[in-house]
Chains A and B, each alone.
Chain A
Amino acid sequence: MATSHSKITSAEGRGIVVRGDEIDTDRIIPARFLKTITFDGLEHHLFEDDRKQLKERGQTHAVDRPEYQGAHVMFVASNFGCGSSREHAPQAIARWGINAIVGVSFAEIFAGNSTMIGLPLATATAQDIERLMAAVEADPTVPCRLDLVAKTATAGSVTVPVSMPDSLRSALMSGDWDATSLLVDRYDEVEKVAADLPYVSGWI
């Protein structure tokens, strides 16, 4: 009964650069937009408060820049997605049109949540991320690509090696990134493990 999802081996398109370390999930999607029972429309509030504050200073957030509209590959810095477990954060990013994020590092729960919705994340050294970001900023029209097979990220003429946890990479490549089908299979094995736990069996 295991249903497979699409196999994700690469993501490509134009790039978008979101600079800054420690961009937390409250900044990606402020908590007030979690007052919903669906994920619909979250993309409209992506980075909402950061965007507004920059606008007030006469600056423009990456997400509002005309040259980045329609981008599919996002480049970020370190510990991106730190903070809460809200899946609304990767949901908002994916619904905005992003198919892959390449950064220096990601917070763990954010990384897990992203994989669960088929949004691949890859990391590269700070120097290599800087080269990718510089290439996109110099010419936002250059083609960008995350290649899961070759484990590389490309922005125009810059191609760098990237890392991904093997389990997440293979889950995306095999189409098993939505683990639920695997987990609900063979429930007899689950029951066997549960029965051996004294707190489940009732301390008999």
Chain B
Amino acid sequence: MARTLFQKVWDAHTVRVLPNGQTQLYIGLHLVHEVTSPQAFAELRERGWPVRAPQRTFATIDHIVPTRAQARPFADAMAESMTEALERNCRDYGIKFFDLASGSQGIVHVIGPEMGLTQPGMTIACGDSHTSTHGAFGAIAFGIGTSQVRDVLASQCLALSPLKVRRIEVNGALRPGVYAKDVILTIIGRLGVNGGTGYAYEYAGEVFDRMTMDERMTVCNMSIEGGARVGYVNPDDTTIEFLRGRPYVPKGVAFDKAAAWWRGMASDPGAPYDDVIRLDGAEIAPTVTWGINPGQSVAVHAQLPRPDDSPSGDRAGLVEALDFMGFRAGQPIAGTKIDVAFIGSCTNGRLSDLREAAHVVAGHHVAKHVRALVVPGSQKVAIAAEKEGLDQIFRDAGFEWRGAGCSMCLAMNPDRLEGREVCASSSNRNFKGRQGSPTGRTLLMSPAMVAAAAISGEVVDIRSFPVAAPAAV
């Protein structure tokens, strides 16, 4: 019988059905970071349990790592002690730790794929909701809480209930100036921030077929912002070529065997879906969030909604968001003055994102009133970008060039908004207080749009921004 990738992966990893009806699911890759793991390790110690599969467990630091002064000990004593705790836990339990000295440190969802740890057909878990990123490879990747981190450490398994599968087909071609970020923001805007609850999203159709792995990761990354814990793209030639030659990917004959198995995990033609949604890629515009959740977005040339014209159920939320943001109902989003521009995060902190942004800023300078920073998603991304001279383009334009980390996406480190600052951000969440100031305001958009906003000092339409000729980059 024809099956979806989700069903195939689920079946291949099922250990048994537990007495409560949940499935005991084997986890093929466990990624660990400093924020959601210390309590899990502490409980392991307390109960005297070993880590069952240290060879399938990999750690890095990303959330709390400062992106400027990275010498140890960190200036922030708590950040230092969290780092020391992870160092100790990795050492005691034999877990590979991509630390600052490794040259491979970075945001957990950037380094997994970069190292070739993330592979099609796997189950992956990490104590971070953006673990859905790894679905770009045709893996089923779950964001989990700390008690579940403990479960995976202790048993290499999770107790879960199966998800329904919604196929989201985007066909046609994206127009110039429209990026993967605009595609996922549009999907979330259409289906709602809780539309995906209980579902895995399968992204399919011509638009995703043509996307690079980096672009697919941007889309899968934000599945959770639409309520879907899991999002994936079926593995294809693009996936296989991306993986070829990466450190943890098999080589030679084994690679060919792996590639054949990976392809076989893709959804079968005629597989049953619980729901199918179709969108026209040509209708997607550069998109900007204006509110306090990622579903509150508009096309950059459009106006903010008017609560009075909206369904009654949405009204209170719209009024609250407009009030918090200090925006007027019906005002255009273009022309909104910004104070900070942030390029980075697990959503858009990869080499291709930095290239797109550098292409926009080349030959321009950041507006006088704007504080702008670029934070590579990993040390390897930083090195590759520096090799291409992207760091110099950003520096010349007045951006700060930082070390790898989560940085201002969630401000558990020195990078944060102050007061009521407005930030054009390539990250994934515009929640109240998300970027470190309780009253700070976040506008989510593609890295190219952040770059254009940094230069212009306000939100601008990338389609009418004077980008220098590609030769300049």
A-to-B contact residues, CB < 8 Å = 20-22, 24, 26-27, 30-32, 34-39, 49-50, 52-53, 78-79, 82-88, 90, 105, 107-109, 112-113, 116-117, 165-168, 170-171, 174, 176, 178-180, 182-184, 186-187, 189-190, 193-194, 196-200, 202-203
Question: CB-CB < 8 A to A186: which residues of B?
Answer: 16
How distant is the Cα of A176 from the Cα of B429 in the complex, in angstroms?
Answer: 34
Contact check, A37 vs B42: say whether CB atoms are below 8 A apart. Answer: yes
B339 is an interface residue with CB less than 8 A from chain A: no
Contact check, B194 vs A79: say whether CB atoms are below 8 A apart. Answer: yes
Binds A, one of B20-28, B391-399, B454-462: B20-28
Per a CB cutoff under 8 Å, which of A27, A78, A105, A187 touches B432? A27
Contact check, A22 vs B193: say whether CB atoms are below 8 A apart. Answer: yes
Most buried by A among B22, B38, B317: B22
Closest 5 CB pairs of A and B: A87-B145, A113-B145, A183-B155, A49-B438, A37-B38
- Would you list which residues of chain B between 53 and 69 have a CB under 8 Å from chain A? 53, 56, 63-64
Contact check, B129 vs A83: say whether CB atoms are below 8 A apart. Answer: yes
How distant is the Cα of A63 from the Cα of B82 in the complex, in angstroms?
Answer: 29
Contact pattern, B 146-158, Cβ under 8 Å of A = 1, otherwise 0:
1110110011111
B316 is an interface residue with CB less than 8 A from chain A: yes
Contact check, B128 vs A187: say whether CB atoms are below 8 A apart. Answer: no
Closest B residue to A19 by beta carbon equals B316
Contact check, B38 vs A82: say whether CB atoms are below 8 A apart. Answer: no
Contact check, A166 vs B434: say whether CB atoms are below 8 A apart. Answer: no
Contact check, A86 vs B432: say whether CB atoms are below 8 A apart. Answer: no
How distant is the Cα of A187 from the Cα of B257 in the complex, in angstroms?
Answer: 28
Contact pattern, B 84-110, Cβ under 8 Å of A = 1, otherwise 0:
010000000000000000000000000
Contact check, B79 vs A86: say whether CB atoms are below 8 A apart. Answer: no
Per a CB cutoff under 8 Å, which of B24, B146, B258 touches A182? B24
Extra 8 A-B pairs, beta carbons < 8 Å, given A21-B317, A198-B261: A27-B432, A31-B410, A32-B411, A36-B82, A84-B143, A113-B145, A174-B19, A184-B154
Query: Would you give 5 A-B contacts (Cβ < 8 Å), ordered by A?
Result: A26-B434, A36-B78, A85-B127, A116-B145, A193-B13
Q: Known contacts A37-B81, A49-B432, A83-B429; is A193 also within 8 Å of B438 by CB? A: no
Contact check, A170 vs B20: say whether CB atoms are below 8 A apart. Answer: yes
Question: CB-CB < 8 A to B427: which residues of A?
Answer: none
Contact check, A187 vs B155: say whether CB atoms are below 8 A apart. Answer: yes
Question: CB-CB < 8 A to A109: which residues of B?
Answer: 129, 143-145, 224, 229
Closest A residue to B196 by beta carbon equals A108
Contact check, B28 vs A200: say whether CB atoms are below 8 A apart. Answer: yes
Q: Tell me the minimal C-beta distance from A192 to chain B in angstroms.
A: 8
How distant is the Cα of A179 from the Cα of B292 in the complex, in angstroms?
Answer: 35
How distant is the Cα of A202 from the Cα of B28 in the complex, in angstroms?
Answer: 12
Closest A residue to B159 by beta carbon equals A179
Per a CB cutoff under 8 Å, which of B81, B159, B197 touches A183? B159
Q: Tell me the minimal C-beta distance from B218 to chain A in angstroms.
A: 18
B14 is an interface residue with CB less than 8 A from chain A: yes
